Amino acid sequence: MLIKNRHAWQESENAVTPEGVYVNRRNFLRAGLAGGAAIAGLGSGLSSAFAAEDRVLAPLTYRLTNIDPGEEQTPFNAVTQYNNFYEYGTDKDDPAKNAWRLQPKPWSVTVDGMVDKPGTYGLEDVIDFKGLQERIYRLRCVEAWSMVIPWIGVPLGPVLQKFGIQSGAKYVRFETLADKKQMPGIKWPVLDWPYEEGLRLDEAMNELAFLAVGLYGNELPNQNGAPIRLVVPWKYGFKSIKSIVRISLTDKEPSTSWSKANAREYGFYSNVNPDVDHPRWSQKRERRIGEFARRETLMFNGYGDLVADLYKGMDLKANY
């Protein structure tokens, strides 16, 4: 069982303010030598990431929860150097090298569509920074690697409710910034920019759907989707859209970047499912970053007790 007492975290009030991480090049290299060497694919990235500019990641105040798979957390250096963020390039170390160009402050998010209070809001009006919590989630990429990441943020559902969800709304659409000046990768038509994703409204209201503004106790590093990104731990990682600038309530299933690129390989639901292979590889196992042996991939990434009901009566092989 993943969560011993699924509501216990709501009572937990242990606010903690951990030390800030000042990610400068010297610290980064030292940490990289200590912890990052075992990570496949990092090689050349170690010396060049963050070389162009440093950013202070401010510490966040948040309360602990017991949402924790109880598995070893993926080291900070891997979480921040082995990324997918195609707006910064398609190699795993490109986001760490290039995302210094992102300007996460100030940031605004447009909330529109079927809501009572549409508008363009400052980040602080979307996220209640006094109500932050930490949740440790597995992240399973469709490419068959996985991590365990301590996110800081708030549940998505109450954020949507704040803007007054109108009856008839059935889906939520999310959109990433697409700015050529800040995002060198969008000059290549790898995907149809801006990156877009979507959830069915009941999925968005599920208690596990999360808006993250930090990880490992501090603000989100740019390469992880600063200053606000979605985390949907029971779905493949590409649903967890980064650097969100628009949230829209709608009555139609939104198109998504990856379905548009290849509908046969990436469906709207994209729930982690070891029984539905990707057309080009098996999804039965995964490589946990930092480990050698492969792990079994779990249905709904191990979160079935909290999300399986959403899909009752649906054929998950046909609707992947």
Ligand X SMILES: Nc1nc2c(c(=O)[nH]1)N[C@H]1C(S)=C(S)[C@@H](COP(=O)(O)O)O[C@H]1N2
**Binding residues for ligand X (CB under 6 A):** 83-87, 139, 141, 176, 195, 224-225, 237-238, 240-243
Pick the piece of the chain touching Mo ion (CB under 5 A) from 90-98, 121-129, 230-238, 268-276: 230-238
Residues 6+ apart with CB under 8 A from 188: none
Task: Decide which of ligand X, Mo ion, none touches 216; Cβ closer than 5 to 8 Å per partner kind.
Answer: none
141 sits near Mo ion (criterion: CB under 5 A) = yes
Closest contact distance (angstroms) between CB of 282 and Mo ion is: 16
Nearest residue (beta carbon) to ligand X: 237
Give the nearest distance from C-beta 289 to Mo ion in angstroms.
12
- Choices 38-46, 63-71, 89-97, 229-237 (CB under 5 A): range interacting with Mo ion: 229-237
In the bound complex, what is the minimum distance in angstroms from residue 80's beta carbon to ligand X? 8
Which of Mo ion, ligand X, none does residue 248 bind (CB under 5 to 8 Å by kind)? none
Residues in 73-92 that interact with Mo ion by CB under 5 A:
84
Among Mo ion, ligand X, none, the one that 242 touches (CB under a kind-dependent 5 to 8 A) is: ligand X
Closest CB to ligand X among residues 15, 40: 40
Choice between 59 and 225, CB closer to ligand X: 225
Contact between residue 229 and residue 220 where contact means Cβ atoms under 8 Å apart: yes
Nearest-angstrom CA–CA distance, 128 and 188: 36
**134, interface contact from Mo ion, ligand X, none, CB < 5-8 Å by kind:** none
C-beta of 240: minimal distance to Mo ion in Å? 8
Q: Please say which residue, 121 or 258, places its beta carbon nearer to ligand X.
A: 258
- Roughly how many angstroms between the first and final C-alpha of the chain, as a whole number? 24
At 319, phi and psi to the nearest 5?
Answer: -105, 70
Q: Which of 238, 258, 269, 320 binds Mo ion (CB under 5 A)?
A: 238
Q: How far is the CB of 84 from Mo ion (least distance, A)?
A: 5
Of the two residues 175 and 197, which places its CB atom closer to Mo ion in the complex?
Answer: 197
Among ligand X, Mo ion, none, partner that 256 touches (CB below 5 to 8 angstroms by kind) = none
The owner of tokens 């801006």 is 194
For ligand X, give the closer residue by CB, 67 or 141. Answer: 141
Nearest distance, CB of residue 242 and ligand X, angstroms: 4
Applying CB under 5 A, the residues found at the interface with Mo ion are 84, 141, 237-238
